[in-house]
Structures are given as C-alpha cells and as structure tokens.
Structure 1
Amino acid sequence: MDLKQIIDGFVIDGVITECEPFGTGHINDSYHLVNADPNKPDYLLQKINHHVFKDVPGLMQNINQVTSHIRKKRRMSDVNDDKDSVLSLIYTHDGGLFYPDGGCFWRVFRFIKNTVSSDHAETPSQAYEGARAFGSFLTDLSDFPGNKLAITIPGFHDLKLRLEQLSQAVPTANRERLLASKDLLSFIHNYADDLLVFHKLTLLNRIPSRVTHNDTKFNNVLLTANRRTACVIDLDTVMPGIVHYDFGDGVRTGAVACEEDEPDLSLIELDQHRYEAFTAGYLETTRKVLTPIEIDHLPLAGAFMAFIMGVRFITDYLNGDIYYKIQFPDHNLQRAANQLHLGKIMLKRKKDLKTIIQYHV
C-alpha cells in the first residue's frame, strides 16, 4: 500500500506534507492529510471497508448524489451554504469517485477544520444543535427519489430480519453463552411484537419511505468549537428508510449520558432535558415534511433502535463475536444488556415522550 501514490490519484489543491491516522471508527481506516499551505484545505483519506459495503460504486454514487442535492438546495435558499456544511467529495484525476488499489478502494473528502464530535450530547444545547443538523438532512432530501440510491446494507434496520438471524444463532450457540443470554432472550421474546410495529406499518405503506441517514449516532454530526452545528458526516448508510430510524438513533445516543457498553444498568438513564432539546431541534427542521402518522410513532423510535441494537449484539455474542470488535469475552453480552435496558426505560416512558413530542410539533 503506497499512500503517496493513492493521494496523488486525487485532485488535491496544494502539497500534502503529513498523513496522520485519524479518528476511532471501526469500519473505515481514515487519515488526515495536512496541507503545506495553511490557506488551502486539508483532506480526509479513507479506505472503504468493502467487506461491509460490497457495492463500492453504488455507495459512492449515493454519497455524490445526496451531497450534490443538498448543496444545490442550500445555495438556492437562505439556508447556510457554507462549503463545509455539506461533505465535499474530491474526485480522482480521471473524474472518478474512488481510487481502486489492489482490491482496496479509497476516497477523499475535504477535511472540515475546527470541529469536534462527541459520542453523546454533553448539554441540551448540543442535543438541539445536533438534532437540527440531522433534521435538516432529512428535510433537504425529502424531494430526492429514493429509488436512485443503492441499498448499501440490505435489511440494516429490518427488525424481522434481525430476529430471524437471532433465531438462527440460538441452535448452534455455545451452551454457556446461551445460558448467560437466557434473561435477555426472554425479554426480546416478550417485547418483539410491540416493536415490530414499524415493520408492519412499512409493509402496509402507512409510513412513507424517505431518504434517511440510517446511522445518526450523535458522533456523526460535527460541531464547531462553540458547539454550533457544522456538518452531518458518515453517509455510507444513506438509503431509503423511515424517519424513525434517524430520530430513534439520535435520541438513543444523544439523550443518554453513558456508553452503550456501560455494565452498571442503574447508571443508564434517559436525560429528559436532552431528549426534549433533541426533539425540539429535530421537529423544528422536519415538522413541515412529516406526516401525522410518522409523528404519532416517534415516541417509540428510541426504544426501537435500542432494541434492534440489543438484538444485534446478542446475536453476535451467540455467533461467537464475528461482527463487532470486542475488548473482552462477554463484551457483546454487556452491550446487549445495556441497550435492551435502555429500550425498556424508553418503553416505560412512552407517554411522557409522546407529551414532549406533541408539544414541539
């Protein structure tokens, strides 16, 4: 792997003097390319994980289409059209969106300087700013035809499929792991029907399909040094979905103070102030495009996303930890317990969450 050769394959403005590993992402390897001229942009070089994203051309066309669409809309409106408010892809010298190299695939974005990301909203104002960014992203793409996008991960948030994968994992699971999972499997069995409501409504076409981000963890929005919104990032999973995926994942991470592998379940809390701030920011930017039935089911969205993450973690645990990186043998079991407990908390507070949402509609 010759990084200089790869970098030279892209239309870079200036001279790159440093190439530093960047970020803590688990999917793509990233490098910060530092420009010799401080008046010219830095860049972000990424190796695309083609084992996770098997259709690299489709993935990159998705990103190119949605960023171009958002940029055009913002230039035509009074909305901030700062060049760094939307990710900017850098083309190869032959006009390509990625650079193939020995079976690997590389891409380059303009690096957005003087920004930070956080796994959780540290304050209600941060939750509000992040939610506005995610909401604006959905609204800006509300008139983009989803059938133009490739499906980068089939069945990504399909709970029925995830439950089937869990059922397939049980018969072949290690006996000790199966016993350790007994209570969590019972919880999943008891609550699955309630949370399959989104699958059923989608099949009945009662909830509209939208172009959604599908991975709105709070660390996928960049904030400026004064904690104002800068840019929504990590667009690899942008494809047709429903609004509840984005709102749900946002509150799952943005309105909870602890990590998703916190072992002490008593520390897992849904912060009402941050939840309300996230809701206010999200609905401020989406209420004009959402339908009544979409809004009516938003209170269940956070529980749904926590539940589906719990199902995925426990499935991987029973399969022998083949998907998620782990730091110790029961890491996925701990993650599953955490997320299912969070889902339970959100289900218990559904009426309170509905009141908050209705207030901000």
Structure 2
Amino acid sequence: MELTIDESILKSYGLNNQSIKIQQIGSGHINRTYLLTQTAGEQKKYVLQEINTHVFSNPEAVANNIKQIADFLAHNFPNYLFPAPLATNKGDTMVVHQGAFWRLSRFVDNTIALDTLTAPQQAYQAAKQFGKLSKLLNDFDSSKLEAAIVGFHDLVLRFDQFQTALAKSSPILREQAEKEIETALGFKSILTEYQSLKDSLPDRVMHHDTKINNVLLAQNTYEGVCVIDLDTLMPGKFISDLGDMMRTYLCEFSENEIDLSKITIRKDYFAAMIEGYLSEMGDMLTTSEKNAILFSGKYIIYMQALRFLADFLNGSIYYPISYPLQNLDRTKNQFKLLIELVKNEDELILIIEKNLAQ
C-alpha cells in the first residue's frame, strides 16, 4: 500500500504527494518518522516526523528548545551540522494538523544510524559526537530551556515511583519480583550518592538519549557526522549522557536478552567510549564531574532497572511487552549489567584515569 501524508501538512513546506515518495523509517518507539524523496526536479530528501504528544506533552517547548540551540550554534559555530527542523512557509517550527504536531528536516545524505555497535571505533565516534555537542553548548545558558520530559532522569523521582508501585502492587507480582526488589533496595546507596553529588555537578544542555542510533555516522567510514533525535535536549547533568552511553554501548546485547550469562562489560568498548567523549569534553568537565565518570554508568543503569521493575509491579502499563514477564526479565538484565560494572570497577577506573591524564 502506497503511503500518503495529508496534503495540508506537505503544502506547509511547499511539497505535495504527487511529487514525493514516502517511506516509513527508523527503529525508534516514540515518534513516527518518514523519509520523503522528491521525484521531480532536484531529488532532495527530507525527514518528516509526527511528535508523540503522550511522551512530549508540550511539543511547543520541545520546538522552542531546539530552535534556541540551533540559533546559538548557527551564530557561534556556523560550520557545525545541527539537523534542526525547517521552518514552514509561514515561518513556524511545526505544523499542527487535527491536533497532531509535525515537523520536517533535511535528510543527511551518505550517513547511517546503527542499531547495534559492532566495533569499538563506532563507540569512540558516537561518544565523540555527543561530547562535541556538549562542548559547543558549554557557554549556552541551559536555564533558558524547558524540561522536555519533567523528571526524566531524576533518580529520586524514579525511586519514589518504584516504592509507590511496590506498595500498590499485587501480592503475586511482588512474589514474582521478590529477588529483584531485594536487589533494588540493596543498591540504594546509588540513590544516596546521587543525592549528595548532584548539586556539585553543573547544569548543562544534555541530550539525555545517547544510544547509538541517535548519532549519524558516515556510511563508508563510520566517522561521526552529527547527533540526531533532539527532542530531549534540555537542562541536565553530564552523567545523563555518559551514563546512557555506558548502559547501551558496553554490552553486546540489549535489555531484552534473557540469557544473563551474555550480559558482560566490553572493556575495549568502554575505553573507546571514554576516549571519544573526553577528546571533546575533557577540558570542559569540572573536578566533580571527572570524579563522577564511572558513577554515571551506575546511576543510569540503576535508574533504568528501577523503571522496568516499577512498570512490572504496576502491571506493565508503560513499556510495551510481548510476554507477561518481559519487564521483570529486563529488570534482571539491567541489574546483571550493573553488577558487572561494579565487579570491573577498579579496571574501568584505571581506563578513566589514563584518559584524563592525556
């Protein structure tokens, strides 16, 4: 079946269904994304997205955040590739059609977005790109931005949500998750450390979703090109970005892997990621931030485990599942990753110290 987009949306950008080919693309679970290819004249390509307002309840704030950052980068670093949405014919940042919010951006040719990492150099390039964006935004006043998702990486909030889910959960679900509940409470020292540490870490503009498919790499060389999926650009701490890289780059398998023996830390990927990130951010980080580099991984992995566990105890109402115990299995997976990180802590710290000394 041939895909079409409502003509009024396309006309807002000077396009029409007769002169474009439409393909649904992307592996993300949040926004619906389409590749538009002009079939007449110059064959330009665009990316059209419908913003998921269940996740991003204030799309105007998201659009305003991206525009402020785009304007700052265009003025201060005009050669940096920042794929911000294009303005409509009326100069708007989005099109609103039947209550839905749409935006269009240029497609970046000769690039690829990976779903999985297969070489340490890919981890290096991805981390370098996320670090570069943070470095360029070092002098941007993050207080000018609104929270795209309130409390997104607030570990205090996530722990409270876990405790609320635990209190309200059915006896059957609590019994099934008994071991994981015990593990969650056993790692509560991470929450305590976060509470004592967070005020010493400066607020920065953070991406907050630094998995590998949110950075474009050159199709042939895998050299980093630019960062994409900009919706969660908002004020935060550096531990959000670096921690999410650790959570998603260091293990060969995703949170859906049920064979826990496969959940291990790839130290060569860790070294490449740290080297790539610090090659850009090494001179920007404060002493407190440098001391919290490894903590960032513990913080994000623990928080994600709590989120999966809370959802399981709530009856799996947030994360999509394909079988009843999937969120519990995801919790087990993330706790195993956290245990592996802690088990290898001394060696990982040596890698960090080596890179900081360069």
TM-score w.r.t. length of structure 2: 0.94
Residues in 1 aligned to 2:44 and 2:23: alpha-carbon distance in whole angstroms: 15
Q: Hey, what does 1:282 align to over in structure 2?
A: 277
Q: Is the 8 A contact 1:138 1:286 kept in 2?
A: yes
Change in 2 beyond 3 A, CA 1:38/1:143: farther
Q: C-alpha deviations, 1:67-95, integer Å up to 9, x for none?
A: 332343333xxxxx26xx32131111111
Residues in 2 aligned to 1:244 and 1:13: alpha-carbon distance in whole angstroms: 43
Q: 1:62 aligns with which of 49, 61, 65?
A: 65
- Listed as ranges, the gaps of 5+ residues in structure 1 are 76-80
Residues in 2 aligned to 1:181 and 1:99: alpha-carbon distance in whole angstroms: 45
Does residue 352 of structure 2 align to residue 357 of structure 1? yes
Q: CA deviation at 1:196?
A: 3.5
Q: C-alpha deviations, 1:293-350, integer Å up to 9, x for none?
A: 1011101111211111110011111111111111111111111111111011112222
Q: CA deviation at 1:40?
A: 4.5
Q: Is the 8 A contact 1:67 1:88 kept in 2?
A: yes
Q: 2:189 aligns with which of 189, 193, 203?
A: 193
Tell me whether 344-353 or 280-289 shows the greater mean CA deviation.
344-353
SS of the residue 2:200 aligns to: coil
SS of the residue 2:329 aligns to: helix
Q: C-alpha deviations, 1:1-20, integer Å up to 9, x for none?
A: 95222111125599842111
Change in 2 beyond 3 A, CA 1:199/1:66: farther
Amino acid at match of 2:11: D
Q: Hey, what does 2:210 align to over in structure 1?
A: 216
SS of the residue 1:324 aligns to: coil
Q: Within 5 Å, which residues of 2 pair with 1:80-229?
A: 81=79, 85-202=81-198, 205-225=199-219, 226-229=221-224
> What is the root-mean-square deviation of aligned Cα atoms in Å?
1.8
SS of the residue 1:170 aligns to: helix
Q: Is the 8 A contact 1:160 1:196 kept in 2?
A: no
Q: Is the 8 A contact 1:29 1:48 kept in 2?
A: yes
Does residue 254 of structure 2 align to residue 259 of structure 1? yes
Q: 1:240 aligns with which of 224, 228, 235?
A: 235
Q: Is the 8 A contact 1:45 1:108 kept in 2?
A: yes
Count of residue pairs brought into register by the alignment: 352
Residues in 2 aligned to 1:13 and 1:87: alpha-carbon distance in whole angstroms: 22
Does residue 334 of structure 2 align to residue 339 of structure 1? yes
Q: Is the 8 A contact 1:120 1:255 kept in 2?
A: no
SS of the residue 1:211 aligns to: strand
TM-score w.r.t. length of structure 1: 0.93
Does residue 308 of structure 2 align to residue 305 of structure 1? no
Amino acid at match of 2:129: A
Q: CA deviation at 1:237?
A: 0.9
Q: 2:77 aligns with which of 74, 77, 97?
A: 74
